[in-house]
Amino acid sequence: MPEFNPDYGYTLEQLLNIVPPPEPKDFAAFWQARYRRAMHTNPQPQLSPSDSCHPDFNCYDVSYSSTDAWNISGWVLTPKHSPITCGVIVGHGYGGREGPDFDLPIPGAAFLFPCFRGLARSRSQLVSDNPSYHVLHNIDKPDSYILGGCVDDLWLGVSALLDLFPATAGHVAYLGISFGGGIGAMALPWERRIQRAHLNVPSFGNQPLRLQLPTRGSAAAVQNYQKVHGNVLATLQYYDAAIAARRVTIPVHVAAALIDPVVAPPGQFSIYNALPESKKLFVLDQGHMDYVGQAEQKIQLLSELQKFFSLL
């Protein structure tokens, strides 16, 4: 266990009453301009056979172009025994990913598993893949902060998915965990090509609180940076997943944890609380750690997600 209390003294009732921070006056203009810039990039996705194999999926390696000349790599799965009826983009945590997930309960889906810039298959000498350094990359420059580039990678992942599988248009979903959950919350308000989303223990919610609460996650590096340089909120006010969540217009399912030493629960629940009425909450006992009952909760969560995405 960490040297601090990873429930932070909050009850579920208190977590459900956390109010996200106020929105900067130019928040929408900032993100709308970024989306328009990203849409000028042609992703030109390329598929090749993958070493991964599975009885129910065709497995491919994929690469596509993102903004700032980044090459994004990952995996694609397509169903072997049924037609493609929808498309799903799956975002990863700050540890990256080593391969695709085969247990997501969305029949007929073409799955795209991108590795966001600087991480896992999209590593580069331009940025560290260590979360404590990655999260600080260009943090003093709002327009070029690394998290904004990762949002671009998600948007262009949608473009790549639709280029590869045009029949999925109008039936696209996003699933993101931890880092990928926060990136998803920031991306969704401006991306009309996604119809439903699931955010699991999402990060980057309520940045003022994130700067204050002790953690073992990437927020600790941001807190240390703030102590030395100050004024980090000049950038982070634009990269607050809870502020962005207020503007999400699609149904969103959130799995948020009561105890979490890596992504503080008040930040996770700030994102959920900010979402409009078309939302669903699954309360996890703990996040970013093993716990008794974890396997049972995963089964329950997957069952909920199967129902939630059956309407995709």
Domain ranges for the chain? 12-309
Listed as ranges, residues in the chain with pLDDT below 50 are 1
CA distance 206 to 21: 6
| Amino acid letter, residue 160 | A
The crossing angle, in degrees rounded to 10, of helices 179-187 and 146-164 is 80
Radius of gyration of the chain (CA): 18
| Residue from 222, 308, 305 nearest 263 by CA | 222
CA distance 73 to 52: 15
* pLDDT at residue number 112: 98
Please give the mean pLDDT across all residues of the chain: 97
| Residue from 247, 265, 245 nearest 256 by CA | 265
Burial 4-19 (b: 16+ CB within 10 A, else e): eebbbebeeeebeebe
Strands, E assignment, the chain: 46-49, 57-65, 71-79, 86-91, 109-114, 172-177, 196-200, 252-257, 279-284
Task: Note the pLDDT tens digit of each residue in 286-301.
Answer: 999 999 999 999 999 9
Residues in the chain: 312
Cβ proximity of 41 and 284 under 8 Å: no
- Got the DSSP string for 122-178? G-BTTB-SSHHHHTTTTTT-GGG-HHHHHHHHHHHHHHHHHHH-GGGTT-EEEEEET
Instruction: Specify the CATH superfamily of domain 12-309.
Output: Alpha/Beta hydrolase fold, catalytic domain (3.40.50.1820)
Do the strands 196-200 and 252-257 form a parallel or antiparallel pair, or are they unpaired?
A: parallel
* pLDDT at residue number 2: 62
* pLDDT at residue number 99: 95
Query: Which whole-number Å values give the CA distances from 303 to 77, 102, 276, in the listed order?
Result: 21, 15, 23
**What is the share, in percent, of the chain residues with pLDDT greater than 70?**
99
Cβ proximity of 151 and 190 under 8 Å: no
Task: Note the pLDDT tens digit of each residue in 205-255.
Answer: 999 999 999 999 899 999 999 999 999 999 999 999 999 999 999 999 999
Cβ proximity of 200 and 176 under 8 Å: yes
